Amino acid sequence: MDWKAYYAGELRTPDARKRMTSWLKRARREGPPGGVPSKTVLSFPHTTLDAAGPLQAVVAEAICRCGCRRVITLGVLHTSALPAASVAADPARPGSERERAFAELAGGFLGAADGLVTPFGTLPPASAAPAPSAFLRSDDDVLRNEFSLDTFHAVLRWSATLQQSEPPHVLPVYIGLTRHPVSGSYAVADVLGAWLRKQWDDETAIVATGDLVHYGAVYGSPALSVAPPELETWSLERLKEVLRLGLEQRDDEAAYEIAWQELRSDQREMLPVLARMLDGGARADILAYELTDYADILRVPPPCRVASALVAYTRDAEDIGASGVRQGFRDEENRNRGHMNAARQSSPKKTVGILGGMGPAATIEFFRRLVAATPAAIDQAHLHILIDNNPHVPDRSAAIFGQGEDPGPALADMARRLESCGADFLTLPCNTGHAFHRAIRDAVSIPFIDMIEETVRTLHVTRVGLLSTTGTIHTGLYASACERHGVSLVVPNASDQELVMDIIRRIKAGGSGTSVREHAARVVASLEAQGAEAVIAGCTEISLIPGDNMPLPWIDALDCLVEASVRRALNASSDIESEDTQ
């Protein structure tokens, strides 16, 4: 079924404008049914025009009343026709294949950047579209046949025409996959929810779409002993349970299980994003609900029903009134950094921000060790960790020797993104990258853990060897830290240092095994001959080499960073802001 063409055809019918005008006037006259709480995201269906149009008109009129100049419309990404979705969902496939397929469809997909053309005129684009990232990007191929927001954009544009007002600027974001098919993680939802919170200011409304129930053999619904007359009551009660679990209980997995297995909700990937955007105390009020019959449209035997529902997703239970949506919808992120940091202090655990990708394998290892080092018997006791895995940061060593682009601006951008997403402090599992720590510190107001300082302060020797990049040695970062702590630093000779660089290059390329370890041990033995009493694994690729059975005690800088991060995240004392020592 070509739903994009079907809904476009509905909008072209001779009386479409007349019906839409009637719905908009009624919505303006009567307001949202039952009143809508403040701090709210209104969610509308994208079913047939007659079923969805009146509810979409309520949302369009609410936007016009609040005077918002920018609207972020959250669409669902219908993935059933996209091959990667079936691969990601297939438990018989290898995990690596499922992860690659998930990466193709994970996150938010940005709609037209040059305005949205509707049958009733164009909606101008939002003036400040976000920079593309791993979880927020443009992909015309993925969105080519997407239809979930088409009718609403037309209703919104026609509403502005009727009111003889300038239409709002619209930024459509289609929510793709957010639940990792292998690990069950909702890290993508964490990132998107935090980003949306930052966008939600006095001038911005956020609305969403979703058909929250699909029932019938054509949708693969399970065989349930529910008679058609009872279907609406049963589905409504199960929907309420999904919303309670997903918003009030924050039990993502239980909510997802019911939403997918029983209700076939196309908002199942979006609900975790909404829960994080609303950020605590969230609830949902179902303002209107009915099941629309699709049997004739699809030419299948009944029952074949799709829910047409208007839902108010609300941050808390206050300010409920009969006057409709409050002016400005919600002002969640107009606080300055000081207020943000003050709020963070009340959290029992702090959120770890990782500037990753330098290299990716080292970032994965750092994350693995963080999880392993956290004292937790259940999932909820683990740390909240945000990772910006950016392998495109310019080469740090090349920049140090004046032969490449300065990575400072890229690192600063990553730091700002992590802070805006809720990180309480920053880490950089790349020793050489610490040469550009000043760019990171100057970009944010949250602390930055200095891995080099944390490593050197653990030493209980007078002479220590160093395995690191030539760039790290050239910066003198370890030499300065050792000098402050009364330790002499021993570095490899020229030929041994070239061997160290070869080891690092091989590990970055995926190499490992006996030869890599043997070459590292040869350099360590040479450092021992120079009087070193221990050796620092001062490159996060070197940290991937097992340190047992080395000729000298192995001080792993990555382990030191892990220990400092866990200590800081659990609110134990941690002297991490040692800017004056750099």
310, 33 Cβ separation under 8 angstroms: yes
357, 391 Cβ separation under 8 angstroms: yes
The active-site residue out of 64, 66, 539, 560 is 539
Strand ranges, E, within 5-83: 40-44, 70-76
482 among known catalytic residues: no
H or E element at residue 276:
helix 271-278
Distances (CA, A) of 41 to 200, 260, 271, 347, 412: 10, 22, 12, 25, 32
The active-site residue out of 64, 66, 68, 430 is 430
Give 342's contacts (C-beta < 8 A, 6+ positions apart). none
Neighbours of 391 (CB within 10 A): 11
539 among known catalytic residues: yes
What is the C-alpha to C-alpha distance for residues 537 and 541, in angstroms, rounded to an integer? 9
Backbone angles phi, psi at 538, to 5 degrees: -100, 30
Helix 49-66 / helix 16-30 crossing angle, nearest 10 deg:
50
What is the C-alpha to C-alpha distance for residues 189 and 185, in angstroms, rounded to an integer? 9
What is the C-alpha to C-alpha distance for residues 322 and 331, in angstroms, rounded to an integer? 20
151, 46 Cβ separation under 8 angstroms: yes
169, 126 Cβ separation under 8 angstroms: yes
What is the C-alpha to C-alpha distance for residues 166 and 151, in angstroms, rounded to an integer? 19
Give 380's contacts (C-beta < 8 A, 6+ positions apart). none
Active site residues: 430, 539
